[in-house]
Amino acid sequence: ASADTVRIVEVGPRDGLQNEKGIIPVETKVELINRLSSAGLRTIEAGSFVSPKWVPQMAGTSEVLSRIKQLPGVHYPVLVPNQKGLDNLFASSASLTDEIAIFAAATDEFSTANLNVTVRESLERFAPVARAARDKGYRVRGYVSVVIACPYSGAVKPESVRNVAKELVEMGCYEVSLGDTVGMGIPHQVSAMLEEVQKDVPVQRLAGHFHDTYGTAIANVFAALASGVRTIDSSVGGLGGCPYSPGATGNVATEDVVYALQNSPYKLEGDIDLQKLVEIGWWINKELGRDNVSRAGRALRAK
Ligand code: HMG
Ligand code: MG
């Protein structure tokens, strides 16, 4: 891929659905993933092997993985919080996906709410999980949550993000996605945070993951691009939210990112069909009984 190729990691089927209260049928999740791959997306987060007591919506992930139509060249990563999650993934069939994501945080307060352990304990727990997955040939992606602000402890120091990102790379993560979980960040904070993290992690290994609570997500995407980041997480129809970040809204909408990057000096990886994404955004929001918050989605539908 050329230096200006931007990779999109679609997180709608995981981040987008995990916070929904009503139970979403497996068929709907399968159809969402299949539609997204047929729209040209090459990395689609398919679900999580987390505790169903903590996040009930992700309970059916192994069934989802076994029922989707897996297209060649498309990755379908799943979140794994601990050894038990990895055991469940392996038990359901090691060939269902080739990628897991482990997810740490920049603050103990968020880590304890999300994983029931401190940051240090979570990293100690993730290290053998990453090793076991890599031994079986899986790619491992890392997340750092609350990279700008924490819903429980306020402003987050960029040094804390840097330290956790560095450890995730040392554990073998091919990439670390930096999450503004709360969706409060502004572009200049994103730039400053990335400058600090880059002291330890090359920018080629960083991704941006922006929630849009304050409407700054697309601006933050461009701040990250200006800092050299070339992987952006997004969610079709702007779905999403974290159960442990009260009040936070969805991720930046995939349609909005694609609209803003097409016909620009950046090149999108693969052959992404914006109009198909717009239709998917409308369809899934209707299934969920939600308003479509994608601005490009609304504008292009109205045309
Ligand atoms: P715990 O309660 O401390 O776990 O939770 P435990 O080890 O004490 O086990 C308690 C029970 O859960 C036991 O069952 C275990 O077997 C079971 P019981 O004996 O009571 O019947 N259990 C599991 N079941 C299925 N799969 C598992 C699993 N592990 C234990 N993997 C735990 C610790 C990590 C499990 C819990 O805190 C958890 O599942 N957390 C996940 C939370 C989550 O999914 N959050 C959302 C994703 S992160 C996110 O959205 C942020 C991101 O988008 C980036 C950003 O925006 O910042 C990625
Ligand atoms: Mg998120």
pLDDT tens across 184-237, in order? 999 999 999 999 999 999 999 999 999 999 999 999 999 999 999 999 999 999
**For the residues of 245-302, what is the DSSP string, one character each?**
STT---BPBHHHHHHHHTTSSSEESS---HHHHHHHHHHHHHHHT-----HHHHHHHH
Q: What is the pLDDT of residue 3?
A: 78
Q: Which residue's CA is the nearest one to ligand 1's atom 9?
A: 51
For ligand 2, the distance from its centroid to the CA atom of residue 179, given in whole angstroms, is 6
- Is residue 28 a contact partner of residue 287, using CB atoms and an 8 Å limit? yes
3-state secondary structure 230-241: CEEEEEHHHCCC
DSSP-assigned letter for residue 90: H
Q: Which residue's CA is the nearest one to ligand 1's atom 53?
A: 15
For ligand 2, the distance from its centroid to the CA atom of residue 19, given in whole angstroms, is 10
Lowest mean pLDDT among 9-18, 93-102, 279-288: 93-102
111 lines ligand 1 (CB under 6 A): no
Q: Which residue's CA is the nearest one to ligand 1's atom 28?
A: 51
Q: What is the pLDDT of residue 184?
A: 96
90 lines ligand 1 (CB under 6 A): no
Cα gap 167→257, rounded to integer Å? 29
For ligand 2, the distance from its centroid to the CA atom of residue 143, given in whole angstroms, is 9
β-strands 206-210, 139-145 pairing: unpaired
19 lines ligand 1 (CB under 6 A): no
Residue type, 21: K
**Residue 108 pLDDT > 80, yes or no?**
yes
Which atom in ligand 1 lies closest to the alpha carbon of residue 105?
57
ipTM of the complex: 0.98
**For the residues of 121-185, what is the DSSP string, one character each?**
HHHHHHHHHHHHHHHTT-EEEEEEE-SSEETTTEE--HHHHHHHHHHHHHTT-SEEEEEESSS--
62 lines ligand 1 (CB under 6 A): no
40 lines ligand 1 (CB under 6 A): no
Cα gap 269→45, rounded to integer Å? 16
β-strands 5-10, 267-268 pairing: parallel
Q: What is the pLDDT of residue 46?
A: 97
Which atom in ligand 1 lies closest to the alpha carbon of residue 211?
56
Cα gap 250→117, rounded to integer Å? 25
Residue 80 CA: distances (Å) to CA of 124, 141, 286? 14, 10, 29
Q: What is the pTM of this model?
A: 0.97
Instruction: Give percent above pLDDT 90 in the chain.
Output: 92
48 lines ligand 1 (CB under 6 A): yes
Pocket test for ligand 1, best of 10, 50, 80, 231 (most atoms within 8 A of CB): 50
- The residue behind tokens 């990563």 is 77
